[in-house]
């Protein structure tokens, strides 16, 4: 129950707006003192007004300093008591070979446990007075499922050290994770034409040398390109590729810090067949290449948020996933005005998605949470073709009268998201 990237980017905006464009060598001292002054402030509403301004401010810094500026703020202010820790005694294996889930002959299913990450309790505050989370923590020491192979499926999870699930009902949230791949020829098709992409720079990357290949929240949607054994398409991992995770987790406990592992279960072909096509990830986002979050202005009623993107590639839609926050009703994708996918949010389908008895009670906040997003079968879409020049539109629909939103400890609205990650077959 706390703000995530919205708050700390808002603080960054405040500190940057308060001073002229940074000048070396005094830049570091000035920003440190301003960050100290701003500790404990909230800036949710500011972020909504200044998302693009933040990008412009960051451009005034030398390109070589932007990522470090963000990294220092994230580590020292947002996560001083959170982060990656050593394996606790009794922790189960980090890499586990599972029974194959794929229909493709020779496919392997491998689960990798990332972290572990220490997630502070609600009473264990960070530099801006927020507790109960690890906030957009960039982890660049991320094991790949292979040195070189083809991924045909993925699913996220959250586990305690002993390998048992860590759901909301036990006080833990997989708020969101984003997996980046950096390597020769990698570029994020949505943001590569931007001078600066906030999601990438927050992970010490660029949209011109990396791409977002996977993401998940509590809904834990399974993505797979191997619905049929003869698809011959997948995401090809190269020897030179390097994975980085952006990790954002929540801990509902008032007084107990918790150690957990983020898991990703990969379905892979332990090679890269030369006759297979490439699955290219395409990230749709209601804030495009900004923070991925924005702050609603009211606790009731309905509202929508829409963003557009013009396609720069030709291909065939293979699969997609959607992500909303509590209060969300549906996420709609359109191509040239025609609905391609309408994904609805489902709430509290199992006890795992109902608040833990030990969770902090916030009057008016949600008790049941998003447990799944409906998926769209590409075979039933009106069109599966993505074409250069096509206008794609993403719309997040929220209904706070029907679905209770998340509130922070002060009773204010939490930021919300609306994104979809699509995989497009690009012919060799």
Interval 369-388: pLDDT, tens: 999 999 999 888 988 999 99
User: Considering its fold, how many domains does the chain have in total?
Assistant: 1
pLDDT value of position 366: 79
Other CB atoms closer than 10 Å to residue 93's CB: what's the count?
11
CA separation for the pair 177, 160 (Å, rounded): 17
Interval 167-205: pLDDT, tens: 999 999 999 999 999 999 999 999 999 878 999 988 999
Reduce the DSSP state of residue 42 to 3 states and report it.
coil
Q: What is the mean pLDDT of residues 267-293?
A: 91
CA separation for the pair 420, 331 (Å, rounded): 8
Q: Range of 209's domain? A: 5-426
**What is the residue-wise DSSP string for 348-397?**
--SGGGB--TTSPP-TT--SB-EEEE----GGGSS--EE-TT-EEEEEEE
Reduce the DSSP state of residue 390 to 3 states and report it.
coil
Residue pair 421/156 in contact (Cβ under 8 Å)? The answer is: no
Instruction: Please name every residue paired with 236 in a beta bridge, in sequence order, or none if there are none.
Output: 150
Residue pair 98/246 in contact (Cβ under 8 Å)? The answer is: no
Interval 104-150: pLDDT, tens: 889 999 999 999 999 999 888 887 778 889 999 999 999 999 999 99
């Amino acid at each position: 129950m706390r703000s995530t990237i919205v708050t700390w980017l808002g603080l960054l905006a405040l500190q940057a707006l308060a001073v002229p464009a940074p000048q070396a060598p005094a830049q570091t001292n000035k920003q440190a003192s301003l960050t100290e002054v701003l500790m404990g402030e909230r800036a949710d509403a500011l972020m909504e007004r200044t998302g693009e301004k933040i990008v412009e401010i960051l451009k005034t810094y030398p390109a070589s300093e932007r990522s470090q500026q963000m990294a220092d703020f994230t580590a020292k202010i947002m996560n001083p008591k959170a982060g990656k820790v050593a394996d606790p005694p009794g922790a189960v294996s980090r890499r586990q070979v599972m029974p194959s889930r794929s229909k493709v002959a020779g496919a392997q299913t491998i689960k990798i446990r990332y972290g572990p990450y220490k997630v502070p309790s609600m009473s264990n505050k960070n530099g801006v007075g927020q507790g109960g989370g690890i906030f957009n923590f960039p982890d660049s020491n991320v094991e790949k499922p292979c040195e070189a192979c083809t991924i045909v499926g993925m699913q996220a999870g959250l586990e305690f050290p002993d390998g048992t699930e860590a759901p909301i009902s036990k006080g833990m949230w997989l708020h969101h994770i984003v997996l980046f791949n950096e390597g020769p020829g990698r570029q994020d098709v949505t943001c590569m034409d931007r001078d600066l992409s906030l999601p990438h720079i927050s992970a010490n990357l660029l949209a011109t040398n990396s791409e977002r290949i996977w993401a998940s929240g509590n809904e834990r949607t399974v993505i797979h390109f191997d619905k049929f054994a003869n698809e011959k398409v997948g995401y090809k991992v190269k020897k030179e590729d390097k994975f980085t995770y952006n990790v954002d987790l929540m801990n509902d406990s008032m007084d107990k810090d918790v150690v957990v592992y983020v898991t990703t279960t990969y379905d892979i072909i332990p090679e890269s067949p030369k006759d297979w096509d490439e699955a290219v990830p395409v990230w749709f986002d209601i804030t495009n290449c900004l923070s991925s979050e924005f702050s609603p202005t009211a606790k009731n009623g309905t509202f929508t948020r829409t963003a557009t993107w013009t396609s720069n590639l030709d291909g065939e839609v293979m699969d997609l996933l959607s992500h909303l926050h509590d209060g969300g009703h549906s996420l709609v994708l359109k191509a040239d005005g025609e609905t391609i996918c309408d994904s609805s949010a489902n709430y509290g389908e199992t006890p795992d998605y109902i608040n833990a008895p030990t969770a902090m009670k916030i009057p008016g906040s949600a008790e049941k949470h998003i447990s799944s997003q409906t998926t769209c079968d590409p075979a039933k879409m009106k069109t599966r073709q993505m074409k250069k020049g096509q206008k794609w539109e993403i719309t997040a629909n929220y209904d706070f009268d029907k679905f209770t939103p998340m509130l922070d400890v002060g009773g204010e609205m939490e930021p919300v998201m609306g994104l979809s990650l699509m995989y497009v077959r690009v012919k060799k």
